[in-house]
Amino acid sequence: MPLLDFRAIHYGDLPMLTADQNALLTQIGPASRMGALMRRYWHPVAGRDELADKATMRVRILGEDLVLYKTRAGKYGLIEESCPHRRASFFHGIPTQDGIRCMYHGWEFDGAGQCVRQPAEKENFAAKVCVPSYPVREYLGLIFAFFGEGEPPEFRRFPELEESD
C-alpha cells in the first residue's frame, strides 16, 4: 500500500496526513525508515572554515549528537559525542595525530571509532571498546559525512564547480 495516493489529489484538495504517515515521513533516527533512507547518501555537516580556529565542533544531524574534529595530521573525523567510559563529551577532546583523546581519562580513539590507547587499563582492553564514527571527506570547502552501514557510495564530484572561483 502506498504511503499516499496522489492520483486522487485535485487543485485545492490536498489530503491530510495521518499521525502514522507523518511519523513515517519525519522520523529520521537510525532505526526509522526515513532515517535508513537518508543514511544512504553523503551529507554536508560543516564548512571547512568552521574548524579553522578550533579543534572540535558539535554537530547534530539525523537525530544524532556528534563531534567533528581535525586531527594533528589534518584529517577530519566525526564521532559520537560521548566517550563510552564516563560519557564525557569529545567536544572537549584533544585531537591526536590519528584521532581524538577523551579529556577525562585519556582514552584515545582512531578515525574509525576504535579505542587504541587507555592509560591505566590492561593492554588488551582497548580492542574491546569502539564508538560510532562516520567516514568524512572535505570537498569544495564543505565537510561531508556518510552515516549508512557498509561501504559508502561513490562520492559525487562537480568538476564545473572545481574550476570556478
Q: pLDDT averaged over the chain?
A: 90
Quick: pLDDT tens for 22-53.
888 899 988 899 999 999 999 999 999 999 99
Quickly state the pLDDT bin for 144 (edges 50, 70, 90). Answer: very high
C-alpha span between 116 and 80 (Å, rounded): 16
Q: Which residues contact 84 (CB under 8 A, 6 or more apart)?
A: 129, 131
Least confident of 13-27, 52-66, 94-108, 145-159: 13-27
Which of 14-23, 36-45, 138-147 has the lowest average pLDDT? 14-23
* pLDDT at 162 (0 to 100): 87
Give the type of residue at 1: M
pTM of the model: 0.84
Of 12, 28, 16, 35, residue with least CA distance to 4: 16
Q: pLDDT-based confidence at 122, cuts 50/70/90?
A: confident
* Confidence check: pLDDT of 1 > 90: no
